[in-house]
Amino acid sequence: MRTLTTEARARRRLLLASDRSDQSGDLGAILQHVGDVDTSPTSAIPDAPAGRFAGIVVDINLRSAESVLRVRDKLCIEAYRSVPRLFVLADALHHGSMQAWALGATDTISRPFDAQVILQRIRLAFPDDDDATTNGTALNQGIAAAHALLVKIFKQLPAGVPLAFSDVLEAEHQILKAIKSTSLRQWLAAVGRHHTHTYRHCLFVTGFAVAFAQHLGLREDDQRRLARAALLHDVGKAFIPVAILDKPGKLTSEEKTEIRRHVHLGYEALLNQGGFPPEMLDVVLHHHEFLDGSGYPDGLRGDQISDIVRLTTIVDIHAALVEQRAYRLPFTHAKSFAVMEEMGDKLDQHLLQAFRPVALGY
């Protein structure tokens, strides 16, 4: 094992849940460098963490149905819902990875252990108290900035108050900072409490878009472009009656036709306003287009659909499926991803597979 650098002990408290006591010793020793570690067999995972743990590291046989069920029963209860969890993979096989993400993995690490990599992952996934304070401030500021922009879009724009591109730039900067400082999981948990469905959806889409851009390693400028487009993709819904947007049941054919108008309404509003980049207008108008020509409003096909639209369409669909709706329970992230895979040539399947770690490891 690689020699560890000496550093001051952080204030993290970690739970190492393991059914591999003969193999987890090295991992426990590594974790001790960044926090206090409680080791427990999975059968004895505490029922109520009560805020004691910054995160949980799970080292089990992911091919064992008994072990998987035991962990699922523990980690799926409300007390553990917000606790980040890092899973140990015995190998790079697809089965183990999928099991980990299905159990809510925040991240994964693999054997053989690289101590420096593990320490870096722990610091990112499980912030200590000082980190949590700083990152919490960034998260709150990001959500506040996003909310302020959405108020301008959905309250002021229909009333004739201009929306400036500089307003979008200011919010986008705070949002990127918030998600980079915390995590997609924390962003979704925070915005998921928003009472307004349309606001919540826009913030979900933006969170997934930013995380996807970061995962792809896009340049900072491209990350910002995608964040802006995601923020404004549904701007046209500002001109759709709230009674239709928030209807708790199925829409009538007339209501569906009215909803579909939002892409043209948003495009025309920003075009008339002036100053918005062409790719943002493209996303606003075309984020419901499909590669096979079955989308709307223009029935675009294949290469007629830009990369930024393809990206936004994927995160838009995923966000819609995993959100709580009045007329149905939210899909799990795994089920949502499976639905998109079944959409076949409607979506860019290469981009969709690149989205898998973001969708399943949020």
| Confidence label for 285 from pLDDT (cuts 50, 70 and 90) | very high
Q: Which of the listed ranges 14-23, 210-219, 323-332 does the model predict with the highest average pLDDT?
A: 210-219
More confident residue, 191 or 353: 353
Average pLDDT over all residues of the chain? 84
Examine the pLDDT at 21 and tell me if it is beyond 50: yes
**Domain 130-360 carries which CATH code?**
1.10.3210.10
pLDDT at residue 7, as a whole number: 41
pLDDT at residue 339, as a whole number: 95
| Span between the terminal Cα atoms of the chain, in Å | 30
SS3 39: strand
For 296-306, write each residue's pLDDT tens digit: 999 999 999 99
For 117-137, write each residue's pLDDT tens digit: 777 767 666 655 555 555 667
Give the pLDDT mean for 161-188: 86
Determine which helix (DSSP H) or strand (DSSP E) holds 86, and give its type and residue range: strand 85-89
Examine the pLDDT at 91 and tell me if it is beyond 80: no
Q: Domain locations in the chain?
A: 12-126, 130-360
Helix locations, 182-261, DSSP H:
184-191, 197-216, 220-232, 242-245, 253-260
Interaxial angle between packed helices 349-360 and 94-102, expressed in degrees from 0 to 180 and rounded to the nearest 10: 50
For 45-87, write each residue's pLDDT tens digit: 888 775 678 888 898 888 888 888 888 888 877 777 777 788 8
Tokens of 238: 């500002």
| Confidence label for 2 from pLDDT (cuts 50, 70 and 90) | very low
Going by their DSSP bridges, the two strands 35-40 and 55-59 should be labelled as unpaired
| Confidence label for 350 from pLDDT (cuts 50, 70 and 90) | very high
More confident residue, 67 or 285: 285
pLDDT at residue 145, as a whole number: 87
Examine the pLDDT at 10 and tell me if it is beyond 50: no
Indicate yes or no: pTM above 0.75.
no
Residue 186's closest CA among 172, 170, 175?
175
Give the pLDDT mean for 282-289: 98
Provide the CATH topology of domain 12-126. Rossmann fold (3.40.50)
Tokens of 43: 């059968």
pLDDT at residue 185, as a whole number: 79
Examine the pLDDT at 151 and tell me if it is beyond 80: yes
Confirm if 143 and 191 have CB atoms less than 8 A apart.
Answer: yes
Examine the pLDDT at 284 and tell me if it is beyond 90: yes
Poorest-confidence range of 5-19, 164-178, 276-290? 5-19
To the nearest whole percent, how much of the chain has pLDDT over 70? 86
Q: Is the dihedral of CA 245, 261, 359, 168 positive or negative?
A: negative
pLDDT at residue 95, as a whole number: 63
